[in-house]
Amino acid sequence: MFPVPLPIAKPRLPLLITGASGVAGYNALDYFQRKYPGQVIGIRPTETWRLTGPGIVACDTEDRDAIKRLFDRHQFGSVLDCTGNCALKPCELNPAIAWRANVESVENLLNETVPGRCRLVHLSVDLVYSGRRSGGYVEEDPTDPVTVYGKTMVAGEQAVLASDPRACILRISLPMGVSFNGHAGAIDWIGWRFKKSQPATLYFDEIRTPTYTDCLNELCDKVLANDLAGVFHAGGPRRISLYQIAQIINRVGGFDPELLFGMPRGHAGPIPPRAGDVGMDSAKLIRALGCNPFDPWPLDDAMFPAHRDWHRERPSGEPRSPEFLHTVLAVNPLRRGRAADVA
């Protein structure tokens, strides 16, 4: 039986959250700033100038000198590293950019966190696997990514493991929450296309284990506040294809069903390559915590597609709208409002 770590009251503060422009980082920043007001800094790329607000700093994690100045100024006690360039096609076309964003940025953080004995929780991803087998990946399975993005995320993990044995790496799947610009991440990107009456084509056989960002935030809070170390899978309990995700967004959002198309990933173009079933088994994390930190996404079983034309069915009286979509898909209905009460 994996030993249950003894939690402390809260993470060592102040806390730095990197990658605040991504879905995981954006939602984590809101959660932690509410819980620990005035003690949380989020950084976003200098080019993402539209993302502003209290505690948000423009800083490129690839800039070693800028990261050092930031640490010298704030003396961080812990870091939640959500940095990463997950744009599959640009990473394939320019591997150097992917390396800087997904590897050099991690190395720059380690240059500061290790000497200062700063608690580091690093978010990796399920796409470190190819999905050639039928999911159920555990931490001991060898990584075999099919994309440059996945390969650089593996290299980032290796950098953490080589430099800081006290750090925790959480391999996440799709984080389901709002994006800062309204058209990033699985929910907002697909919904944005439908709102603009643009088609979306998703894959029948790319399988993920997504999580509500509400659940992920609380998990990161717990892990930052204990001494859990090494690699842990942090995927949700429900396996779901990209096509099924789009079906749910289409129907719950009340969008035109004619805009959704599906295909096997083998029919996609060669760039970027598509992974298959990268569903993760999170039993090791559950044992370590003594509980399952994740509710299924979507929470309501009635919202899980029963067949490939499910999104075309529109039962009378069923709530459907873009606004309703966000209340049940981007927010966990069981945890709604909890962020306001965490302090």
CATH assignment of the domain containing 227: 3.40.50.720
Rounded CA-CA distance 138/284 in Å is: 8
Rounded CA-CA distance 155/128 in Å is: 10
Does residue 14 have a cis peptide bond before it, meaning omega lies within 30 degrees of 0? yes
If one counts the domains in the chain, the total is 1
Structural domain includes residue 78 = yes
Structural domain includes residue 179 = yes
What are 245's two structure tokens?
A: 């995700």
Structural domain includes residue 2 = no
Q: What is the pTM of this model?
A: 0.94
Rounded CA-CA distance 131/127 in Å is: 8
Query: Of 215, 172, 219, whose CA–CA distance to 331 is shortest?
Result: 215
What are 21's two structure tokens?
A: 């422009």
DSSP letters, 47-69, are T-TT---TTEEE--TT-HHHHHH
Residue 96 lies in domain: 15-333
Query: Of 132, 126, 232, 131, whose CA–CA distance to 173 is shortest?
Result: 126
Structural domain includes residue 4 = no
Structural domain includes residue 328 = yes
Question: Each residue's pLDDT tens digit in the chain (343 positions)?
Answer: 344 444 446 899 999 999 999 999 999 999 999 999 999 999 999 998 899 999 999 999 999 999 999 999 999 999 999 998 767 888 888 899 999 999 999 999 999 999 999 999 999 999 999 999 889 999 999 999 999 999 999 999 999 999 999 999 999 999 999 999 888 899 999 999 999 999 999 999 999 999 999 999 999 999 999 999 999 999 999 999 999 999 999 999 999 999 999 999 999 888 899 999 999 999 999 999 999 999 999 999 999 999 999 999 999 999 999 999 999 999 999 986 554 454 4
Query: What pairing do the DSSP bridges indicate for beta strands 15-18 and 207-208?
Result: unpaired
Structural domain includes residue 9 = no
Structural domain includes residue 68 = yes
| Alpha helices per DSSP H over the chain | 23-35, 64-74, 88-93, 95-99, 105-113, 148-163, 185-195, 213-224, 242-252, 283-289, 322-325
Spatial neighbors of 184 by CB under 8 A, at least 6 apart, are 22, 23
Eight-class DSSP state of 225: T
Distances in whole angstroms, Cα of residue 245 to Cα of each of 181, 191, 235, 264, 334: 20, 11, 15, 15, 20
Structural domain includes residue 343 = no
What are 172's two structure tokens?
A: 């996440």
